[in-house]
Structure 1
Amino acid sequence: MAVQELVEIKFRLADGSDIGPNKYASSTTVASLKDKLIAQWPKDKDNGPRTTNDVKLINAGRILENSKTLGESRLPAIEVPGGVITMHVVVRPPVNDRNNDKLKDDSLKKGGCACTIL
């Protein structure tokens, strides 16, 4: 029985904080890695991702594909035993509620302003 190679990964968020590092099997798909990241997302952070489609993982300047495994993604630190891989996390901004967009469109048709004053 072959020993499964483990890869140590930490996720760097936009504010500079990290999640991890944790060890993952090289056979782990990027999609399941994103699921694990969403489950570990800090509760005190606003606008966290809801689905794997809301998250992009970037490593060595490349966006990782959901269907590929960590091993297939050719991560540079896999070649360096004991190295920790830092992946940058990009979260898609939340999509506005369709009802709010409809209200803005209606006010524009009536000649009103669609500005929001906070």
Structure 2
Amino acid sequence: FVMSKKRTYLDSYVRYGFDFIVVDGVEKPQCLLCSKVLGNGSLKPSILKQHLEDTHPAHASDDRATFEAKRARFRAAGTLPKLGFVCEKKRKLGASYHVAMRIAKAKKPHDIAEKMIKP
């Protein structure tokens, strides 16, 4: 039984426009420009550079300081708002979850919501 080698993120990879996220205890590179997450095996400078040059040729000549600033903004923004999710404290979202939970507990089709909400 041979275990695969787990690569680790090096801070120098930011010059290729990448930060990292941890998924199931494994560091994976995440592009600061398109938010794409690559596999752990892609934590090689040559692969990261290739992604930058092929996918974002306009940013291939950006310097490390530019990517450092992008990384700071990227980390400050968080990922959930970028994906369209909002805080659960929002009233509309809470109501939506409440209705979905009542439908699931009733074990009825989704169209029962019309009967549950209107009364």
**Is the structural similarity TM-score above 0.5?**
no
Structure ranking higher on relative contact order (CA contacts 8 Å, 6+ apart)? 1
Which has the larger Rg?
2
**Taking structure 1 as the reference length, what is the TM-score of the superposition?**
0.30
**Taking structure 2 as the reference length, what is the TM-score of the superposition?**
0.30
Choose between structure 1 and 2: higher helix proportion.
2
